[in-house]
Structure 1
């Protein structure tokens, strides 16, 4: 008898339901989120006919967590059902809007019973790929937090200390650069900046890691910080300086996290067998390549073809047709992390790779805007990457862009 399992996940407990091929409820139970609860789940599955040769598939609304990790260790099929899709299925069984944890567990089991072929199993990625996913996502989150902290600090400085922003406007990372953070730490207000001497600024630059042109840079910063500007009232200015130091501490922590995680993810990615293939593509380095691998994984059976990868990445357009209405737009439901990495990848490739640049310009001449042209380039590149990863070959410019004509 074919059995399907649905688990409604919660923080402290989980509701489990087993249904047979006809939709009849075979068993139900609430288990705790601990080893005893997991053992209870395994006993429940075994009593329903679960065997290593024919494991009972499981549907759950999350792809992560200790319960999912323990279930994956049993080598059984696990389907992570998107909560939005699950909400649509809920309406098939009740139009009143009622909801319960047990009913959701039954609904998830019935999703497998009727539509398992329309949902994708959790990929069977290697442990190394799983570790890269954790580190790459953490580094990406840290980068976003750094940008947020930097923008908050910049907004505050704009209100009372614009000359500081002007003094470091030519730095690659502006106020997030080590030099700008070191100087702001000793001069958080215009009054403090006016008392700075060149030796103190030079010492701050050395602490930030600068080794060349320190005296000249210190003199330039000193003059820039003493430029005339509008001022807040003294007590208000002092309070804003205290606020700036608090935001600076957050920014320092974010910058440190970005650097530490970048080193960790780079070391892990360089050990992966797909490293040489991914980094052979223009625009993909260790960090951006690790982000792409983190979202695609290394289970080559995960995607049926390149079209599935492109849809998952959000680079392929989506068509909406109803009656006489027809529209082709970009996808909004996608893997946002992969789409963000793809944007950086396409932008970098369009500036460093002549064939990619020609492809981008051709799309612009065709009428695409900048985002649409980059998305089209990303669509082409990720299709080529899928082919290279499947066939175990590195990037070949002549095959990726056969129409390219060198100038």
Structure 2
């Protein structure tokens, strides 16, 4: 076998080839792109004999995605994507001087692959559909996070110079189309106070009981409030106009990406199984599918899937001390999706709600209870995907019914 450590940068790769005894056969710097991949193949060809299979060439790199990794997988090499922190810890084992270089990192990766291969996770070969779902779901979620950041900036600005707008518009949602329309039209207190009922009603055309809400908004906007001097107010109004324009664009692009998420997710054969799970709709189901992937055999058991999800607890024990706590090293996007699934499932599945209530009765905090609910739902999902069956409440929670009966 050949063990190759690949320390990648934006425009090049430092590569080291080791044999089974840890002898360094070659160190080389390869460019990014097609030229680099060709050079990688030529490098492997120098040390591979007639009996060497492509799968006997093992590559360790600090990423699990990108064109370079896809090219290595397409060539048939066995690729292991490791966490940078994991690689840093192994580098400390090789030497405690603190020295660091690209060649040294490549050496550490090759050595870690040779000595600790059984502890490393092979890059899963997810289907092209899942890769597409992952791209659009992550972009969709990132835009939602960006909208939240700009929403908070808008709240701060309005609080500093236009508290009446904050009082009037918050119940409607500061990122809603009617509020953004009114803020774009009247970003200062004087301009807002001059808004007519017809103008406010036109902005609220998609709402119920428009006349009553328009009159209430006008009353709040025309009431006396603390403010800022005119030059400062004008400056704040300019920033609010910019934030409103950004939020309007984000709303539009989020809606467009949601259509793409639905389209790509609908092409996957497991989409209906995911949609049958309690608390999962199209968007959350697509996120869960994207972050778990669909590579065959990636999760050998429900426990393995729960560990990857970060929902299962972690135990630290030394002597007579034993502490069970939540996992803090996890996939943030997957944990966020599972937390939202658990929250939604409480409202739509009576068995999930009963399990949550049982945990709360034992003085488990709300977030910890949701984490345990999410952990149970991950196990149920694993069973459904393994057997290619839809969620069935009676089957999924039969163990709990037997316990209650006993």
Q: Secondary structure at the match of 2:108?
A: helix
Question: Which whole-Å CA distance do the structure 2 matches of 1:196 and 1:313 have between them?
Answer: 51
Per-residue Cα deviation, 1:138-168 (whole angstroms, up to 9, x for no partner): 1111111111111110121112222212222
**Matched-pair contact (CA < 8 Å) for 1:149–1:251:** yes
**1:324 Cα deviation from its structure 2 partner:** 2.5
Q: CA, structure 1 residues 242+26, in 2 after alignment: closer, same or farther (shift >3 Å)?
A: same
**Matched-pair contact (CA < 8 Å) for 1:183–1:205:** no
Partner of 1:23: 22
Q: Secondary structure at the match of 2:57?
A: coil
Question: Which whole-Å CA distance do the structure 2 matches of 1:77 and 1:272 have between them?
Answer: 26
Question: Which whole-Å CA distance do the structure 2 matches of 1:21 and 1:75 have between them?
Answer: 20
Which stretches in structure 1 are left out of the alignment for 5+ residues?
none
Is residue 273 of structure 1 aligned with residue 274 of structure 2?
A: no
Partner of 2:87: 86
Per-residue Cα deviation, 1:360-398 (whole angstroms, up to 9, x for no partner): 110011121000000000000001101111111110111
Per-residue Cα deviation, 1:59-118 (whole angstroms, up to 9, x for no partner): 000112221122122132111111101011001211111111112112111111111111
**Matched-pair contact (CA < 8 Å) for 2:310–2:335:** yes
Q: Secondary structure at the match of 1:319?
A: strand
**1:224 Cα deviation from its structure 2 partner:** 2.7
**1:214 Cα deviation from its structure 2 partner:** 4.4
Partner of 1:37: 36
Partner of 2:48: 49
**Matched-pair contact (CA < 8 Å) for 2:258–2:283:** yes
Is residue 14 of structure 1 aligned with residue 13 of structure 2?
A: yes
Question: Which whole-Å CA distance do the structure 1 matches of 2:167 and 2:263 have between them?
Answer: 37
Partner of 1:121: 122
**Matched-pair contact (CA < 8 Å) for 2:54–2:76:** no
**Matched-pair contact (CA < 8 Å) for 2:2–2:56:** no
Question: Which whole-Å CA distance do the structure 1 matches of 2:34 and 2:41 have between them?
Answer: 11
Deviates more, 1:332-341 or 1:67-76: 67-76
Q: CA, structure 1 residues 76+54, in 2 after alignment: closer, same or farther (shift >3 Å)?
A: closer
Q: Secondary structure at the match of 2:6?
A: strand
Q: TM-score, normalised by structure 1?
A: 0.94
Deviates more, 1:321-330 or 1:221-230: 221-230
Q: Secondary structure at the match of 2:174?
A: helix
**1:347 Cα deviation from its structure 2 partner:** 0.5
Question: Which whole-Å CA distance do the structure 2 matches of 1:5 and 1:155 have between them?
Answer: 52
**Matched-pair contact (CA < 8 Å) for 1:6–1:105:** yes
Question: Which whole-Å CA distance do the structure 1 matches of 2:149 and 2:316 have between them?
Answer: 36
Q: TM-score, normalised by structure 2?
A: 0.94
**Matched-pair contact (CA < 8 Å) for 2:54–2:77:** no
Per-residue Cα deviation, 1:249-270 (whole angstroms, up to 9, x for no partner): 2222222222111111111101
**1:205 Cα deviation from its structure 2 partner:** 3.7
Partner of 1:326: 322
Question: Which whole-Å CA distance do the structure 1 matches of 2:53 and 2:22 have between them?
Answer: 23
Per-residue Cα deviation, 1:298-319 (whole angstroms, up to 9, x for no partner): 1131112111111111110000
**Matched-pair contact (CA < 8 Å) for 2:55–2:78:** no
Is residue 166 of structure 1 aligned with residue 167 of structure 2?
A: yes
Kindly tell me the number of residue pairs found equivalent between the two proteins: 400
Partner of 1:222: 218
Partner of 1:202: 201
Is residue 345 of structure 1 aligned with residue 341 of structure 2?
A: yes
**1:220 Cα deviation from its structure 2 partner:** 3.4
Q: Secondary structure at the match of 1:346?
A: helix
Question: Which whole-Å CA distance do the structure 2 matches of 1:184 and 1:202 have between them?
Answer: 14
